Amino acid sequence: MKNSQVLEVDARPDTDAAAPDHALLKEALQFSPDSLRAPGIEVAQLGDKLPSLELVDSKSFSLEAEKLERNAKRSLSPERFREFKQDMGAFEQRMAQNPEEIKATYEQLNRLFEPKAESVVPRKDLPLIAAEVLSQSADSRSINQGAANTCAFAALESRIYNRTPSKAAELVANAAIDGRYKNLELDSESLKTYPRKARENPSDSTRSQASQIFQFTAVQAFHANDPAKFDGLSYKIRPTPSGGISEFLEDAKTGQKYEAPGLTVADAEKLEKLSRDITGASDAPFVVDVTRARTPEEFEATLAKIKADQNYPALLIIDATNPPFNSAGIGTRYHVVAIEAGDSPDNLMLNDQYGASRDKMVDKQTLYDAMHIPRALDAKGELFEPVVDSLIELESKLESGEAKMTELTDSLFKYAIHEYTETQMKNLEEIYHRKTGKHLQDFLAKYLSDDDMKARGYDFVPIIGWKRF
């Protein structure tokens, strides 16, 4: 299979994430931002727990709770039932201010314990899936992506479990029992396939079967929202001879398989739409990236609004070669994590879907820097030579009419430019001027807004044009 390098994501470009080939225009200019960046580096690591709330009167959900307890006791082993009871207590404490949400979640869990018809996922697995849903409802930070390239969907899953666990439970129950998400019929083999290794030897980074079902279903829903882009492409999960699974996007016409679900760094709004589709809630924007937080001041203002709107957890798109992430084991540079309010004004709680060992408090400046190309490359100007070559090639093709900016490529271009630090931008400007005799900002100004140009450190001077002072 071939890796995709757009945020673990863009299924179309066929490039090596560890060594970008700097070919900007691929398949009608559907290029990856990696073509406008320099090679990365590796760095550090991450571990912590959820805050709790006081218990309230349980009368509103007591009947569903009693029913759920009976179902669990009948269906689970004594050891699993003890864990189930503990998770019920933790969940009821965490959601104490919203007893109706507890009741709605328990209703969905009871569906998994007593399906009325033959289920798509084998009936013997449904009680275990119900236990996983409850455990993740009690602690939404326990949700993982496993070895799959589904970080964005896992981070979104964690947000939904945190805020509206009944909607996550409903999605899983509908998919596992009926094989459907709303009006979408889901691939039954993908829903049924789960690696036996994960059951036999789970770790703190293992993806539960409940999460696999959620993430697979969320990918299908994401594709359904963009039928033109994903025409002829289907996301599947299949078993491997070794007892694991293979997860891929397949082109029905060519048989080509890609180890990515087809998301790009330009899809923040589409992720937010997917969240609205699943939950029915009209939440304010909650995905943070370099185009929405272009400066440290914008980053701080964005976080302040998320907090004021009570809109945490948020999603953050980062470059995994930066601290505090360890790029070893992360297959691509682009990665999505969940973030929550921290233990001080300067910190954020990082919830990395690669496992609990990566979760911890991180200062805001570190996470702001993590959205960008590593500062360690500031002094390595020679690494930006091929980036400038790509920019020159792009400029030439745009001017000749051989290529044109589409909505997607315009967004990816904007994302790529905002990834650079100020020092790296100066490196690009110097190399571009040396190679062309022209000023890079004159090219950028044709495709970036005035606000984007100012965020990149340029000021507009009448007659002269855009200039860095």
Q: What is the pLDDT of residue 17?
A: 35
Neighbours of 299 (CB within 10 A): 20
Percentage, residues of the chain above pLDDT 70: 86
- Banded model confidence at residue 115, pLDDT cuts 50, 70, 90: confident
What mean pLDDT, rounded, does the chain reach?
A: 87
Q: Is the pLDDT of residue 133 over 60?
A: yes
Least confident stretch, 155-169, 193-207, 335-349: 193-207
Mean pLDDT of 195-199: 79
Q: Write the CB contacts of 239 (distance below 8 Å, at least 6 apart in sequence).
A: 193, 195, 245, 246
Q: What is the pLDDT of residue 8?
A: 38
Q: What is the pLDDT of residue 312?
A: 98
- Contact at 8 Å (CB) between 11 and 249? yes
Q: Which amino acid is at 234?
A: S
Q: Kindly report, residue by residue over 348-392, the tens digit of the pLDDT.
A: 999 999 988 899 999 999 999 999 999 989 988 888 999 999 999
Q: Is the pLDDT of residue 3 over 50?
A: no
421-427, Cβ contacts within 8 angstroms, sequence gap of 24 or more: 421/372, 421/373, 421/375, 421/378, 422/457, 423/375, 423/378, 423/379, 424/38, 424/373, 424/377, 424/378, 424/384, 425/456, 425/457, 426/468, 427/378, 427/381, 427/384
Q: What is the pLDDT of residue 408?
A: 82
pTM of full prediction above 0.75? yes
Per DSSP bridges, beta strands 287-288 and 314-319 are parallel
Q: Kindly report, residue by residue over 76-95, the tens digit of the pLDDT.
A: 999 999 999 999 999 999 99
Q: Kindly report, residue by residue over 28-81, the tens digit of the pLDDT.
A: 333 344 444 443 333 333 333 444 444 455 667 899 999 999 999 999 999 999
Q: Kindly report, residue by residue over 398-452, the tens digit of the pLDDT.
A: 999 999 998 888 999 999 999 999 999 999 999 999 999 999 999 999 999 999 9
- Contact at 8 Å (CB) between 220 and 181? yes
Mean pLDDT of 328-349: 85
Q: How far is CA 209 from CA 206, 296, 331, 420, in A?
A: 9, 39, 22, 39
Helices (H), 253-406: 268-279, 296-308, 364-370, 385-400
Q: What is the pLDDT of residue 10?
A: 33
Is 467 or 333 the better-scoring residue by pLDDT?
A: 467
User: Of 443, 456, 29, which Cα lies nearest the Cα of 12?
Assistant: 29
Q: What is the pLDDT of residue 87?
A: 99
- Banded model confidence at residue 310, pLDDT cuts 50, 70, 90: very high
Task: Give the chain's length.
Answer: 469
Q: What is the pLDDT of residue 203?
A: 82
